[in-house]
């Protein structure tokens, strides 16, 4: 027959070219696979670092919330009067204490002149 050595050799050459292309393609896939694995490991490490930072921030917020909770637990309630500096918190209400009146102190004898701020005006003589 119809067998043509030239056509056969041509097909053999094409087959070798395709094999080389397959080999190059597999080589590139192996390189990409290694790069992909390396990149996956890198991303995994970055995600772990992000998780650690988020966990640390969460712990910081928890500690702060507990500290604020303790402060708020010790803080005066909104309807409670805030205490004055140096322990003079309720001294203006002592006259209402019946025990003090029983001790013989006569508050009616004390006469203060108050200015428009509600504070005693010490510049004026009350006598």
pLDDT tens column, 22-54: 999 999 999 999 999 999 999 999 999 999 999
The pLDDT of 77-97, averaged and rounded, is 50
Distance of CA 99 to the CA centre of its chain: 52
CA angle (100 as vertex; 83, 97 as ends), nearest 5: 50
Question: Given this model, what pLDDT does residue 68 score?
Answer: 87
Report the C-alpha gap between 80 and 73 in whole angstroms: 13
Q: Is the pLDDT of residue 4 over 60?
A: yes
């Amino acid at each position: 027959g119809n067998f043509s050595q030239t056509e056969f050799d041509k097909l053999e050459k094409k087959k070798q070219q395709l094999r080389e292309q397959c080999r190059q393609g597999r080589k590139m896939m192996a390189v990409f696979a290694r790069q992909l694995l390396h990149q996956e490991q890198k991303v995994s490490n970055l995600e772990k670092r992000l998780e650690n930072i988020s966990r640390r921030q969460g712990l910081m917020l928890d500690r702060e919330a507990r500290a604020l909770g303790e402060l708020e637990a010790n803080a005066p309630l909104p309807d409670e009067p805030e205490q004055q500096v140096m322990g003079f918190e309720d001294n203006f209400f002592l006259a209402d204490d019946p025990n003090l009146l029983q001790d013989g102190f006569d508050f009616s004898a004390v006469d203060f002149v108050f200015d428009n701020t509600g504070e005693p005006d010490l510049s004026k003589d009350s006598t």
